[in-house]
Amino acid sequence: MEGRQGGKAGLQARVGGSCEKWGFSPGCLNKEMNASLKPAVFGATGYSGFELVRLLARHPAASKPILVRRDGESGGYVDLSEAYPQLAGNGGFPFQNFSWQQMKNAGVDVVFFATPHEFSRELAPEAIAQGFRVIDLSGAWRLKQTENRAVYGFAENPEDAPLDSSAVYGLPELHSCEIKSAKLLANPGCYATSIILALAPWIRAGFVDVEHGIVCDSKSGVSGAGKTPSTKTHFVEIDGDFSAYSVFGHRHSGEVLEQLGIGGGSLQFTPHLLPIPRGILSTIYVKLAKPVTSEELEQALVGFYAGKPWVRVFGAARLPQIKFSLNTNYCDIGFSLSPDGKRAVLVSCLDNLLKGAAGQAVQNMNLMFGLDEKAGLQ
């Protein structure tokens, strides 16, 4: 940004005080409350957008986020507390009309897009050109392969090719080094996060017979469909029901394939809609490449996620449940091994609005600006 230092160095130049006081990594930064990281948020009225604002508003290293809208957006609300009275009494969360220059003048460091894919596809390149760092919660920039992006129906604009190539997939447990220097960060999908985190350690260790095929049977609360109402997400339609959808065509399939490095013929992913507000449980069935013990499988998970604060390994002792990770940024992983040691079932749970969306976005912001991954999320 013109006239401002960006990233960690710029933040260091603007702050002072005790880093331990604010939960930062030892020696990383110093911080004062009146000289903090400044975020801006597009799409604050959605479920993920609201959770994002709530997390940023209490983040020890960030000042109150600027909420940005274009003409006619934000549902006619002047202040976010009108849509979410939970925020009332905190000095207000007013919307500001969109202007890159005003955002620069306000000292914005990072721009979050909690918006539809088309919106992010349009405005993220502009934000990058203006010198802002971007964290996008949509699927606009997650996929590298054209055939996988086709599910979104984007026009393949040659001008977007450099950003498609350079955008970092924001799964901190796999890409922390790349995230730290990212200009455009693509926050992962909620289903994809639950599946990739469960499978990555075993696939990289060579335990999974990928050619035999992997079955991912995932269930999500209805908030995963977003805030815009539809006949499929109406209370009368979902209450007391349980249904599969988007079989052989869900948008998150490409993320799983690309991040795990497997072919489409090796994955069957079927999402289901649970009649609950939030939470994801993925049950993943694999054939093992060779007989192994529970201890070997558990150690692969424990070793892979050593030092990763937002993954909890339950191992074979107890399987995760949605209620354990609800309203947290944790992804919980457990498994059961067949008596012959040739087959295993992984169970992965997370909150789709936190580790599956807003919480992971804040975790990524922490990494991008040299903060402790846990800051603002405990």
Which residues are tagged catalytic? 190
Backbone angles phi, psi at 333, to 5 degrees: -130, 130
Centroid of chain to Cα 328: 13
List helix spans (H) across 116-229. 117-129, 146-149, 161-166, 172-180, 190-204
Q: Which residue's entry shows tokens 């796999």? A: 174
Nearest to 325 by CA among 366, 280, 372: 280
Nearest to 19 by CA among 60, 64, 59, 63: 60
CA distances from 375 to 61, 173, 280 (A): 8, 16, 23
Helix (H, G, I), strand (E, B) or coil at 257: helix
In the chain, the amino acid numbered 115 is: T
Q: What is the DSSP letter of 227?
A: S
Helix (H, G, I), strand (E, B) or coil at 347: strand
Q: Give the integer Cα–Cα distance in Å for 372 and 363.
A: 8
Q: Give the integer Cα–Cα distance in Å for 10 and 305.
A: 31
Q: 330 near 310, Cβ under 8 Å?
A: yes
Nearest to 10 by CA among 1, 19, 18: 1
- Pairing between β-strand 343-350 and β-strand 331-337 as defined by DSSP bridges: antiparallel
CA distances from 124 to 104, 134, 140, 341 (A): 15, 7, 9, 48
Q: Give the integer Cα–Cα distance in Å for 254 and 140.
A: 12
Which helix (H) or strand (E) is 304 found in, with range? helix 294-304
